Structure 1
Amino acid sequence: MNGPEIRELHAMEEFATASHLYAGIWGTGTTGPPVSAEVMRALSHAGNYVAGAYEDGRLVGASVAFFGDPIATTLHSHITGASMGRGIGLALKLHQRQWALARGLKRITWTYDPLIRRNAYFNLVKLGARPEEYLTSFYGAMDDAINGGDESDRVLTAWDLTAPTETPGPGNVSEELTGAVHALRNRAGRPETAPADAATVLVDLPDDIEGLRRQDPAAARDWRLAVRHTLGGLLAEGAQVIGFHDRRSYVVHRIPT
């Protein structure tokens, strides 16, 4: 099966369709989409990246990015939304990568919710990007269908475009797991923290944080605080996320001092 057609968007009608798509994905309604058609128009006109993915002439994904700091080296990907399960998100990111390389850029950054397992797996394993900084409540509380009123903790993640294009798999971190200990474990659906002085630390995630926000907001809040304290604390200390194990655990390595 051929993949989606990816192309830059330029017409106001295209931006309006992309804005409507975002509103549907995030459940915000058309009066409050994550990005408006007017903002996309301005970013595109100024030379930034606004692209859409099409299947049979229908828009099924879109991505918006703008030039970031350091100037002339970085593209910051603000939002990417796509229908799940058909490789559309990956196709958009690879198109974005080629667009950035054609302009002499060396890396792409973006933020994502560190509690969402599929996003962590996609970013770390399929793309080979790496978290660099933990940002507490970056956008404040977000009351859309995905965030469910939760605080918007994010990790700033960087994709090194100069690295080999072969993406790593979960097995690439298996050697690093020798002697690893859990600083945060998923214990029957609840977060359980423990002292962890090892060089390599595992940070588990909940099975389905989006469902938990709807069904048990208190438990979702516990997970938010536990990951903030554990993963956020490790990154603040200078530790590095080196992979994602078994589709559920960040693998974090402390740098010797």
Structure 2
Amino acid sequence: MMPGPTSPPLNPESLGFLGNDETGWTRTARGQDIHFRLLRTLDDLTQAERLQEEVFGVSARDLIPANELIVVAETGGAVIAAFIPGQPDRAAGILLGWGGFVGRPRIVSDFLAVRPESRNLGIAEGLKYLQAAIAYQRGFAEIVWTVDPLRAANARLNFGKLGATANAYEIDRYGSEFAPALYGGMPSDRLHVTWQITAPRVLARLIGEIEGESEPDAVSFASGMSADDALVAIPPDIDAMLAARPADALAWRLRLRETLIAAFAEGFAIVGFRGAMDGADPAYLMKRPAPART
């Protein structure tokens, strides 16, 4: 479903970006003017190679090279980079999405990388917002990607801010040897995330009419529960846990795997995120039935 005549517009301008496809866009976030532009040339795209190495710690075998990224635009997708003031030639963050088709046009978002020193500047959010606007202009109404279910910062962005949903789980998608510096050899489990950018609940978030999912009086998920709202806790900082207590991190991986697979099998979907509060861990907001695909 694409926006109708009474729906909010979905373009860079309506989402707070000033500029155009050729020169790039500027968006103010956290008091800074962040510049965004499409990476199209081989020279530009080598920045995407470096960022994969620096942020994810992937080997040369596992990174996506510039000579492959050069064809992304031909699929309808885009490689979008963000730059902070004073560093116009050093990308602070990069987002890659390929154009695809599985029953309908969709963008397959492959990776989102932001330098550690540039986090908490709204760069990841800005990259995703611009991806949505560009995707819509190119005829796509759906963006999909995978995400590590243990990462609270990603959960806050994907489900708390963007309004994406998830109801499918994949065990060890990339193998346990993927990005060992980042994951410490743990199984690379992933959630399959769907972002229906023209759905009313998503459009309302993108243009700022609502800021998040309402939080019902939900209780922790338990298999066989009768309630249709539930919470599933995740660790507040999996990276710190991996560094200090890797055995605990692996225990979280296995426990969360079992819980989410059971919840999805009983018809629940992740529809939101609740931050840490009153001494409780952050948590996914779960609801059933899963939101209908528009």
Instruction: Pick the TM interval, shorter chain.
Output: 0.7 to 0.9
Q: Which moved more, 1:117-126 or 1:53-62?
A: 53-62
Aligned CA distance change for structure 1 residues 33 and 195 (closer, same or farther; 3 Å): closer
Contact 1:20 1:33 in 2 (8 A): no
Given that residues 144 and 192 in structure 2 are in contact (C-alpha distance below 8 angstroms), is that contact kept between their aligned partners in structure 1?
yes
**Residue of structure 2 equivalent to 1:52:** 81
Per the TM alignment, residue 195 of structure 1 is displaced from its structure 2 partner at its CA by: 5.5
Please state if 1:99 is matched with 2:128: no
Tell me the residue number matched to 2:20: none
Q: CA deviation at 1:32?
A: 4.7
Contact 2:57 2:179 in 1 (8 A): no
Distance in 2 between residues matched to 1:153 and 1:124, nearest whole Å: 18
The one of 214, 228, 241 equivalent to 2:243 is 214
Report the number of matched residues: 241
Alignment pair present for 1:19 and 2:46: no
1:90 aligns with 2:128: no
Residue identity opposite 1:166 in structure 2 = A
Structure-2 change in CA distance of 1:224 and 1:7 (3 Å):
same
Q: Does the Cα contact within 8 Å between 1:78 and 1:110 map onto a contact in 2?
A: yes
Check conservation: 1:26, 1:34, Cα contact below 8 A. Answer: no
- Mean CA deviation greater in 230-239 or 100-109: 230-239
C-alpha change, 1:72 and 1:240, in structure 2 (3 Å) is closer
- The equivalent of 2:260 in structure 1 is 231
- The TM-score with structure 1 as length reference comes to 0.85
Partner of 1:186 in structure 2? Answer: none
CA gap 1:130/1:212 in 2 versus in 1, 3 angstroms: same
Whole-angstrom CA distance in 2 between matches of 1:4 and 1:72: 33
Paired AA for residue 231 in structure 1: L
Q: Paired residue for 1:255?
A: 289
Number of the residue aligned with 1:4: 34
Q: Which string of whole-angstrom CA distances, capped at 9 and with x for unpartnered residues, describes residues 179-236 of structure 1?
A: x3223xxxxxxxxxx6661412211011211121222221111101111000122113
Identical aligned residues as a percent: 30
Question: Paired residue for 1:202?
Answer: 231
**Contact 2:156/2:275, CA 8 A, preserved across alignment:** no
Alpha-carbon distance between aligned partners in 1 of 2:182 and 2:225, rounded to the nearest angstrom: 34
Deviation at 1:155, TM superposition (A): 0.6
Per-residue CA deviation, residues 63-100 of structure 1 (Å, 9 max, x unaligned), is: 11112333552111000111311111111111111110
**Separation (CA, whole Å) in 1 of partners of 2:137 and 2:288:** 35
SS in 2 for 1:145: helix
Q: Is 1:41 matched with 2:76?
A: no
Range with bigger deviation, 50-59 or 112-121: 50-59
Query: Normalising to structure 2: TM-score of the pair?
Result: 0.75
- What's the counterpart of residue 166 of structure 1? 204
Aligned AA (1:239): F
Whether the 8 Å CA contact 1:67–1:75 is kept in 2: the answer is: yes
How far apart, in 1, do the equivalents of 2:56 and 2:150 lie?
A: 16
Q: Which sections of structure 1, spanning at least 5 residues, go unmatched?
A: 184-193
Q: Distance in 1 between matches of 2:100 and 2:169?
A: 18
Query: What one-letter code is carried by the residue in structure 2 that aligns with 1:159?
Result: W
Give unpaired runs (5+ residues) of structure 2. 1-30, 277-281
Q: 1:9 to 1:105 in 2, by over 3 A?
A: same
**Paired position in structure 1 for 2:25:** none
**Aligned residue for 2:183?**
147
What RMSD, in angstroms, separates the aligned Cα atoms of the two structures? 2.2
In structure 2, what is the Cα distance between the partners aligned to 1:43 and 1:121?
28
